[in-house]
Chains A and B, each alone.
Chain A
Amino acid sequence: MIAELGLAVLWMAAALAVLQLVAGALALRPATAHLAGVVRPVAILQGALVACAFAALIWLFLSTDLSVKLVAENSHSAKPFIFKLAGTWGNHEGSMLMWVTIMSLAGGFVALIEKRLPENTLIATLAGQAFVSLGFYAFLLLASNPFERLPEPAPEGAGLNPLLQDIGLAFHPPTLYVGYVGLSIAFSFAIGALVTRDVGPAFARAMRPWVLGAWIFLTLGITAGSYWAYYTLGWGGWWFWDPVENASLMPWLAATALLHSCSVLAARNALRTWTVMLGVVAFSMSMVGTFLVRSGILTSVHAFAVDPTRGTFILALLAIYIGGALLLFGLRASTVTEGARFAVFSRESSLVFNNVMLCGILGIVLVGTLYPLLTEAMGVKVSVGPPYFNPVSSVFAIPMMMVMAVGPVLRWREDKGGRITWQVAVPALVSAAALLAVELIFAPINLLPALGLAIAPGLAVASFQPLVGRNLRRTPLPIYGMVVAHFGIAVALFGMASEGAFSTERLAAMNPGDSQQVGPFKVTLQDIGPIAGPNWTALEATVSASYSGGEPTILHPQARTFANPPGNRTESALLTRWNGQLYAVLGEEGDDGRWQMRFWWKPFVPMIWYGGALVALGGLLALLGRVARDVKRLVAVDKIAYRRERQGR
């Protein structure tokens, strides 16, 4: 019953999306402008209905209704509660429904609260949002119905892929989806603005919270995904330039550029066309990423749910939306009036530089990700990995971080070099000192980690400079947000560089009782024995590790075997100290009875993820600041309106 109800509600929501699109499009014509009043309520209702459909699916999964095909294929009655819940979106159909749900809820939210935009632009935006959602509704209802019943209920579910039975991964995809979908709102705003040719600060201010929100979630998603790959794959690496990782990185790069160009447009009414284009590009990258992952066109260590027909469907959506948006952009861009001008030496210029560098990195990642596809069409098989991505993206990332240290202290419109001599000199000196120290004490170190170790402290110092000379209590929250986010980049950069420069690895076959020296740690294999979890069994090693002769800590790396469905997974064990992490993996038993063990000592590696978290925190501060100001303004406007009304009487 619940399943049929969910499906019916989903169809109704799709019908409302049609109504929202048609009414919105008609409302833009003077003759049928009275339809404008329909659009907002319809958008809100649509969001509410889809939320009900998604709730129905969650209910089916939680109650393990095995007469529903999706539940039978992806869940199991013996699974822990949290993974039953995560099973809702840990599969293709459920994740698409989640995508549509978030998208429509966000659309409804825009309809509910957005008051700044000219009404026409808002109507066009909501129509655009409905247009985008419709494609996904079609995808769900025609090609991947999540509520399909089995002819006969299955006796037991098939379970969830063991790799996905991990708390981090259970909540990782939804985080990224929220990010992608937030960018779909930015996309709709860009379309709305192109349709009405009304690109200005109001548009940027309306779009900015959504971009910020999306960007926060993308940052968190990428950071968490990187940590997940780090501790579950058991390879000791934190970023593999895998197509799936690149698929989440590319929207982030575009969103970061969009965020900064949005600031320019909001504050200075410049970079109008560029911002609109980035709005289109950011969401395009989300869809391109989804397509690359879902179609199976590129293989990856993360590959799941690969199906060429689904790939075709997403490709069709991609062609319609992105092709359409870029066509609209081509037609309208030259009619968007030019924004305000600025000097070569100004904050705007530094942000333009940042934007172009980010787009350069984006291009490099995209080309590297697609290159195997290109050569394969010509009959040559290649794979592209860190030897390409690391140095080539650094060519753009390093100048960007240098400008990033200076940009925030520049003035809008135009500035003089003499004014900021100190602000340039201090970080430059810090970096130079760091570089010298690195070269003298730790040489030889590869070029990229050495540069990273040099730039990170300079950038860290520079990121606080916008606060110098300000009254700290009256500094707006978004400034703090920027400071924290830039500082987070410096922290993450330091972690990456330190991991690259100072990691030590030890691989050994050990008998219980054997010891190994790993960096400053002495590790001893004490015992190996079986252990059982809720739905898995494992071999567990007991390893004691003592840091330069200190008290030993016990670690338990495991090799887990899952029963439903069958599969294996290594569970690495981590020992985190303030200055780094010890990473232990249990391998196989050799013919001679010794066990393969692999250890890494990675100094300061957690800073990568602390840095990512700081970046997200910075985004959150900025978002809070912006929203608080908007709310204040709204209240003030309401008050004035109220007073006028009273005076009128």
Chain B
Amino acid sequence: MSEPVPSKRPGIAVWLPLGLFAAFLVLVVVGLYWPADREVSSAFIGKPLPAFDLPPASEDRPGLATTVFKQDGKPRLLNVFASWCFPCKVEAPQLAALAQQGVEIDGVAIRDRKEDVAGFLKQYGNPFKRIGKDDLSQVQLAIGSSGVPETFVIDGKGIIRYQHIGDIRQEDIPLILRKLAEAGQ
């Protein structure tokens, strides 16, 4: 056994691994918790709806144009859905509940056929006042929605106030109502 050799430099070098590891931790923490998904929603919050005018997707409801959102100063929900989308079916009862509470809901059917939409509405209920038909996902992309279903809270001036990504669950209803109330002030 040799004697301990006191040396200052190793004293610094032995902390190097810990330093590197700390840098790694910082990096992955940023990567894990960087609110990338929330940013998607926030990017459009406070922006006006882009102008669009969609033809009707169903026989018994009119189509959907941007002007609707500015006509009476009331906040509304804009629901992006499709008959081929499974979570949309799961979401239907919650939309129905919201409609029953007097919330005005307008829909945009994405890449859909009229007969499919009719079948969907017949089976799962029709909470919509108007339904626009967006065959090329143009409106969907323009309002910053990346999937179906998504729901937007639009205030009386046509400004996007909240974006809900994914289906509205039972427990999300109070949140949606609160956002609507905030948008109505």
Closest to B5 in A: A338
Binding site for A on B (CB under 8 A): 1-7, 10-11, 14-15, 17-18, 21-22, 24-25, 27-32, 34
User: Would you call A319 an interface residue if the criterion is a C-beta within 8 Å of the partner chain's C-beta atoms?
Assistant: yes
CB distance from A394 to the nearest CB of B (A): 23
* Chain A contacts for B32, CB-based, 8 A: 295, 297, 308, 311-312, 315
User: CA of A36 to CA of B77 in the docked complex: distance in angstroms?
Assistant: 68
For A281, give its contact among B5, B14, B17 (CB under 8 Å).
B17
Closest to B25 in A: A319
A339 and B2 form a contact (CB under 8 A): yes
User: 6 closest A-B pairs (Cβ-Cβ)?
Assistant: A333-B14, A326-B18, A373-B31, A330-B15, A377-B30, A338-B5
B17 and A334 form a contact (CB under 8 A): no
A373 and B28 form a contact (CB under 8 A): yes
CB distance from A156 to the nearest CB of B (A): 19
* Chain A contacts for B4, CB-based, 8 A: 335, 337-338
The residue in A318, A329, A330 that gathers the most chain B C-beta atoms within 10 A of its C-beta is A330
CB distance from A231 to the nearest CB of B (A): 32
* Chain A contacts for B18, CB-based, 8 A: 323, 326-327, 329-330
| Sample of 4 more A-B contacts, CB < 8 Å, known A273-B14, A334-B7 | A297-B32, A326-B21, A339-B2, A370-B27
Closest to B10 in A: A334
* Chain B contacts for A319, CB-based, 8 A: 25
**Given A288-B24, A370-B24, A376:B17 Cβ within 8 A:** no
User: Would you call A523 an interface residue if the criterion is a C-beta within 8 Å of the partner chain's C-beta atoms?
Assistant: no
For A315, give its contact among B5, B6, B11, B28 (CB under 8 Å).
B28
**Given A284-B21, A370-B24, A377-B30, A338:B15 Cβ within 8 A:** no
Closest to A377 in B: B30
A326 and B27 form a contact (CB under 8 A): no
CB distance from A518 to the nearest CB of B (A): 41
CB distance from A276 to the nearest CB of B (A): 10
CB distance from A323 to the nearest CB of B (A): 6
For A297, give its contact among B14, B17, B31 (CB under 8 Å).
B31
* Chain A contacts for B24, CB-based, 8 A: 288, 370
* Chain A contacts for B28, CB-based, 8 A: 291, 295, 297, 315, 370, 373
User: CA of A337 to CA of B7 in the docked complex: distance in angstroms?
Assistant: 11
CB distance from A556 to the nearest CB of B (A): 35
Chain A's interface size range is 20 to 34
A377 and B34 form a contact (CB under 8 A): yes
Q: What are 25 A-B contacts defined by CB distance under 8 Å? A: A273-B10, A281-B17, A288-B24, A295-B28, A312-B32, A319-B25, A326-B21, A327-B18, A329-B14, A329-B17, A330-B14, A330-B18, A333-B10, A334-B7, A334-B11, A337-B1, A337-B2, A337-B3, A338-B4, A339-B2, A340-B2, A370-B27, A374-B27, A376-B34, A377-B27
* Chain A contacts for B3, CB-based, 8 A: 337
User: CA of A294 to CA of B11 in the docked complex: distance in angstroms?
Assistant: 35
CB distance from B100 to the nearest CB of A (A): 29
User: Would you call A277 an interface residue if the criterion is a C-beta within 8 Å of the partner chain's C-beta atoms?
Assistant: yes
CB distance from B143 to the nearest CB of A (A): 22
CB distance from B38 to the nearest CB of A (A): 13
CB distance from A210 to the nearest CB of B (A): 21
User: CA of A334 to CA of B21 in the docked complex: distance in angstroms?
Assistant: 19
User: CA of A288 to CA of B20 in the docked complex: distance in angstroms?
Assistant: 13
* Chain A contacts for B21, CB-based, 8 A: 284, 322-323, 326
User: CA of A315 to CA of B26 in the docked complex: distance in angstroms?
Assistant: 11
* Chain B contacts for A338, CB-based, 8 A: 2, 4-5
Closest to A376 in B: B31
CB distance from A286 to the nearest CB of B (A): 14
Closest to A378 in B: B30
User: Would you call A280 an interface residue if the criterion is a C-beta within 8 Å of the partner chain's C-beta atoms?
Assistant: yes
B2 and A280 form a contact (CB under 8 A): no
CB distance from A310 to the nearest CB of B (A): 11
For B14, give its contact among A334, A337, A340 (CB under 8 Å).
A334
In residues 346-376 of chain A, which contact B (Cβ within 8 Å)?
Answer: 370, 373-374, 376
User: CA of A280 to CA of B17 in the docked complex: distance in angstroms?
Assistant: 10
Closest to A335 in B: B4
CB distance from A558 to the nearest CB of B (A): 29
B17 and A277 form a contact (CB under 8 A): yes
A323 and B14 form a contact (CB under 8 A): no
Closest to B7 in A: A334
CB distance from A283 to the nearest CB of B (A): 13
* Chain A contacts for B1, CB-based, 8 A: 337
User: CA of A273 to CA of B15 in the docked complex: distance in angstroms?
Assistant: 12
* Chain B contacts for A374, CB-based, 8 A: 27
B31 and A377 form a contact (CB under 8 A): yes
* Chain A contacts for B31, CB-based, 8 A: 297, 373, 376-377
User: CA of A288 to CA of B23 in the docked complex: distance in angstroms?
Assistant: 13
User: CA of A374 to CA of B1 in the docked complex: distance in angstroms?
Assistant: 45
* Chain B contacts for A322, CB-based, 8 A: 21
User: CA of A377 to CA of B34 in the docked complex: distance in angstroms?
Assistant: 8
* Chain B contacts for A340, CB-based, 8 A: 2
Contact with B along A285-315 (1 / 0, CB 8 A): 0001001000101000000000010011001
Closest to B17 in A: A326
A315 and B10 form a contact (CB under 8 A): no
User: CA of A329 to CA of B19 in the docked complex: distance in angstroms?
Assistant: 12
User: CA of A637 to CA of B6 in the docked complex: distance in angstroms?
Assistant: 38
User: CA of A337 to CA of B152 in the docked complex: distance in angstroms?
Assistant: 66
Closest to A312 in B: B32
CB distance from B6 to the nearest CB of A (A): 8
* Chain A contacts for B27, CB-based, 8 A: 370, 373-374, 377
CB distance from A78 to the nearest CB of B (A): 24
* Chain B contacts for A312, CB-based, 8 A: 32
User: CA of A607 to CA of B25 in the docked complex: distance in angstroms?
Assistant: 39
CB distance from B13 to the nearest CB of A (A): 9
The residue in B5, B6, B32 that gathers the most chain A C-beta atoms within 10 A of its C-beta is B32
* Chain A contacts for B11, CB-based, 8 A: 334
* Chain B contacts for A281, CB-based, 8 A: 17
